[in-house]
Amino acid sequence: MTVDAPSPPDAAPRADVVTIWYQSTESLGPDDLAAMDALLSEEEQVRAARFVFDRDRRDFTAAHALLRRALSHEDATDPRAWRFDVGSHGKPSVVADQAGSPPLVFNVSHTHGLVACAVARGTNLGVDVERTGRVVSASAIWSRYFAPSEVAMLNAIGEGLSARPFIELWTLKESYIKAVGTGLAHGLSSFAFAFDGPHGMRFLPPPDTTAADWQFLLVEPLAESRLAVAVARGAPPKTWRFVVHDVSPEPRTAMRLRASDALPST
């Protein structure tokens, strides 16, 4: 396989687009990983080497190589040349002299066998990916950490059928926390999501914001996985268009599950 991202349908980046890239990592071989590792900075290579387990090292390397290629799709910069700052709460960003105007922003996530990143301009965004396999003590987690309305919804579904809805809520919540970029200053119980019908969702925000300030997307990128994106609408508010790309060896079309009020383009 090639590590270069394919050209998407859009010939040039647009100011109202969030581009989401994801990749399955299970079938990556030594040559693939060596090519990806060559794109990373020395600091990223050192961080990758610290992982004890091969699969964790693989996913970290793949995620950060994917991010660098995604950024280079938005700007004619060599993937190896990107430099990053880290905010006070640990959220990374492109250094000011490379970010441009509106500034290029990103977020990255990885779980076992799946990596993803989201890229846009002039906003705040977050992305999270999770596996939907067996969840141990899910009810104990949601009862302790989720908002009362979410607890009621999951309790009504029941322990035996609630693993996927639980993971979907968790993934959405993580995407919002990462977009805000203040860590757990917003407790997971201070905001909530409600699922409307087969594909809709509503955001029940914390006191310092409104539902209209944010837009969300939830998709199934691979079987038994979930990917969520949160993006701030900005001022004046805009409706973002989501463009989703799978750069796996055997790509598939991500299945749209829920969106707050906008459809993704694939």
DSSP 39-62: TS-HHHHHHHHT-SSHHHHHHHHH
Q: Is residue 107 part of a domain?
A: yes
Containing 200, the helix (H) or strand (E) segment is strand 200-204
Cβ burial of 42 (10 Å; 0-12, 13-18, 19+) is exposed
Residue 134: the pLDDT is 67
Q: Is the pLDDT of residue 6 over 50?
A: no
Q: Range of 152's domain?
A: 17-265
Q: Is the pLDDT of residue 266 over 70?
A: no
Task: Place 240 in a pLDDT band, splitting at 50, 70 and 90.
Answer: very high
How many domains does one find in the chain?
1
Q: Is residue 249 part of a domain?
A: yes
SS3 sequence, 73-108?
A: HHCCCCHHHCCEEECCCCCEEECHHHHCCCCEEEEE
Task: Place 94 in a pLDDT band, splitting at 50, 70 and 90.
Answer: very high
What is the tens place of the pLDDT at every residue in 25-63?
999 999 999 999 999 999 999 999 999 999 999 999 999
Adjacent-strand bridge partners of 125: 231
* CA–CA distance, 178 with 206 (Å, rounded to integer): 15
Q: Fill in the amino acid letter for 175.
A: S
Task: Place 14 in a pLDDT band, splitting at 50, 70 and 90.
Answer: low
Q: Is residue 148 part of a domain?
A: yes
What is the tens place of the pLDDT at every residue in 19-32?
999 999 999 999 99
Can you count the helices (H) and strands (E) in the chain?
A: 7, 13
Greatest alpha-carbon pair distance for the chain in Å reads 51
- The CATH number for 75's domain is 3.90.470.20
Residue 236: the pLDDT is 86
Q: Is residue 6 part of a domain?
A: no
Q: Per mean pLDDT, which range of 20-29, 141-150, 176-185 is the poorest? A: 176-185
